[in-house]
Amino acid sequence: MAVSKTRAEVVALKEKSVFVPDENLSSGLRLQLAAALVLVVLLGVGCTGLLVWYYTEGPDVTTQPGPTEAAANTDTAETTYSSYTMASVSTREKAAIHLEVEDFSKDDQLKWQDSSGSAFARGGLRLVDNDIVIPESGLYFVYSQAVFRVTCSYDTYVSHKILRYSDSFDAPLLIMFAIKSVCQDTNRQNGEVKFFEHVYLGGVFQLKKGDRLGTTSYWTLDVQTDSGKTFFGAFAV
């Protein structure tokens, strides 16, 4: 049988079922809730900042090159570097000159040329009035060779020398010289041509701008004028 309750009894029962925390417990809950709220806000700000960085400054995962593209980029970089290196070398081309004998005269002078065979001139070194003209002060390797055809009808010798002409000296300065005795008694047989003899000179010298280098030789009438036999040159070091 249902038991009916009065309104007053119902109200009293509800009041008994409601939990009313004491003052201290309510204050602690409020602090915990506030701390949790602050933590949630901080996490939200941090995540937002991370997302902003990822899409603005982070790695571009959508444009990463594959193996083929990476290889192509590497080849392009190497080609660019190689082109730069070659251009740099060409702008730093050292002065050099190599002369070949063109003719000779009876006054111990070889006539040089710089425009045929293996002859060349670059970087400021040039041939003027049969002398090499120095374009800038510095160290230069100077060299020359003369090949002679020797006829041993009498005792003789061959010689070859390089002279430096400079405003610093009153007279030409001998910087290299070589002499060889080429005919002895055993080599003289009825004036026949017995052999070829060569003289080579080479060394490093401190030269000044405007200095000139020239050669003189003895026995020039028999100097060999074939390409590669008799030459004269210099280059900056």
Contact 86, 56 (CB under 8 A): no
Q: Which residue has the tokens 């201290």?
A: 24
User: Which of 28-32, 52-56, 205-209 has the highest mean predicted lDDT (pLDDT)?
Assistant: 205-209
Gap between the Cα atoms of 32 and 30, Å rounded: 5
What pLDDT is stored for residue 130 in this prediction? 95
pLDDT more than 90, % of the chain: 38
pLDDT of residue 151: 77
Mean pLDDT over the full length of the chain:
75
CA distance 117 to 223: 17
Q: Which residues, in sequence order, are CB contacts of 114 under 8 Å at separation 6+?
A: 97, 98, 99, 120, 121, 126, 127
SS3 205: strand
Mind listing the domains of the chain with CATH numbers? Answer: 22-89 (no CATH), 96-236 (2.60.120.40)
What tens digit of pLDDT does each residue of 75-120 get? 554 444 444 443 444 445 789 999 999 887 667 789 999 998 999 9
